[in-house]
Amino acid sequence: MNVDAVIAGMLPELGERAEPERAARVFWSGVAEPGDAVAGALLSCVPALAALRIASYPDEIARMTGIGARAAADASARWGPRLHEDLVSDALQRARRSRVSILVPSDPEWPDAVDDLGDHAPIALWVRGDPRSLSVPGIALVGARAATNYGEHVAGELAAGVARAGVSVVSGAAYGIDGAAHRSALATRSGSTVAVLAGGCDRSYPAGHEQLLERIAATAAVVAEVPCGAAPTKWRFLSRNRVIAALSLATVVVEAGARSGSLNTAGHAASLGRPLGAVPGPVTSPASLGCHRLLREYDAVCVTDAAEVRELAGLGASQPLVVAGAWTNERTRVRDALSSRVGRDAGELAQRSGLAIAEVEAILGSMLLEGSVVGDVGGWRRSAGR
């Protein structure tokens, strides 16, 4: 393959930012499959154009990246069949027709968050819509295609609450939970929502979500790391999940069977050190099994409303919520009614706080739980030191 001819042929298709290094990186996004760590390592060591020139030379790859001879030979063997001149020419034409822009890491619109993937970071991002949407703080809401009405309802509620706070809803545009989340985000006024696809971003997949994807592209962005026209293979679905996790401050699994693919997204969030939340559901519902596994075994945080989702992502506590606020106020009134010295019974605390006895007792129960109150037959007292 004549690298210079390839690059020269690509430049006219790359718009105003066209230059050889960008062209070489875009070409690489067609050569390497998503998450190819050898390609990632190579591109972090040498410029994309130089990397292209040594792509067929395992010794050079090994020398540049420091990886073993065997891994370098494997990588070169993987890339070989794709190193032909017209690899991305069709993709570039499709991109122009569908107004898809291509981002590389040097672009100001590049979402730095994905670089946390290290050698597994995307090489380029193909974006239908507004590339700046990728840098809006986002929260991933993902889940099973085989969702229940309950799951779709909750996904919708969470997405609306997230979007209303000006936070982007990131998901995978699948049927079920993903679709419900995107749709609900679009229905809010700000409505930023980003769909990350496993195939080319100009291909509507699933086909039944063509209109939904068009609306997402018109409002924010549909993004893929593979070139336009590329097929959504099984491997690309799994690796796409890491991009969803990486683009997001936190990932929340709304509903997932015991073996749902969204557990894979959860895994990526966890390995990136990003907060992971799971929505509980009826224990009798197989569609919530995966969420309960995340809560039990993987230390996921139990989230039940949009305020808790925002809190999980570090975007302000759930305080403003009416229910939480009321609870907090009444708690404060009980705390005020307590003495650390003199024991008081629930009846007296009810009188002092102006709350019902049953309410006071429930609040005392929760304060007992956190150790901020002690009680015996002499009555309830504030714990020393609280």
Residues of this chain, 130-159, that bind its own copies according to CB under 8 A? 150, 153-154
The footprint of its own copies on residues 34-93 (CB under 8 A) is 34-39, 71, 74-75, 78
> Whole-number minimum distance, CB 108 to its own copies, in Å?
29
What is the rounded distance in angstroms from the CA atom of residue 171 to the CA atom of residue 157?
15
Find where tokens 């491997």 sit: 235
Judge whether 82 and 39 are in contact, CB under 8 Å: no
> Whole-number minimum distance, CB 335 to its own copies, in Å?
15
Bridging pattern class, strands 125-129 and 100-103: antiparallel
The neighbouring-strand residues paired with 245 are none
Q: Of 20, 30, 172, 281, which lies in the binding site for its own copies, with binding defined by CB under 8 A?
A: 281
Nearer to its own copies (CB atom), residue 206 or residue 375: 375
The footprint of its own copies on residues 302-321 (CB under 8 A) is 302-305, 308
What is the rounded distance in angstroms from the CA atom of residue 71 to the CA atom of residue 77?
10
Nearer to its own copies (CB atom), residue 207 or residue 283: 283
The footprint of its own copies on residues 345-364 (CB under 8 A) is 345-347, 357-359, 361-364
The footprint of its own copies on residues 2-41 (CB under 8 A) is 32-39
Nearer to its own copies (CB atom), residue 190 or residue 339: 339
Nearer to its own copies (CB atom), residue 50 or residue 357: 357
What is the rounded distance in angstroms from the CA atom of residue 36 to the CA atom of residue 122?
9
Find where tokens 């305020």 sit: 307
> Whole-number minimum distance, CB 13 to its own copies, in Å?
26
Buried b / exposed e over 1-26, threshold 16 CB at 10 Å, is eebeebbebbeebbeeeeebebbbbb
Only one of the segments 53-61, 83-91, 173-181, 371-379 lies at the binding site for its own copies (rule: CB under 8 A); that segment is: 371-379
Only one of the segments 167-175, 200-208, 223-231, 235-243 lies at the binding site for its own copies (rule: CB under 8 A); that segment is: 235-243
Q: Which two tokens stand for residue 199?
A: 């195939």
Asked if the peptide bond before residue 227 counts as cis, ω within 30 degrees of 0, the response is no
Q: Of 16, 84, 189, 376, which lies in the binding site for its own copies, with binding defined by CB under 8 A?
A: 376
Judge whether 183 and 152 are in contact, CB under 8 Å: no
Q: If binding is defined by CB under 8 A, does position 175 make contact with its own copies?
A: no
Only one of the segments 48-56, 82-90, 188-196, 295-303 lies at the binding site for its own copies (rule: CB under 8 A); that segment is: 295-303
Residues 6 or more apart from 297 whose CB is under 8 A from it?
A: none
Nearer to its own copies (CB atom), residue 96 or residue 145: 145
Q: Which two tokens stand for residue 24?
A: 């070489």
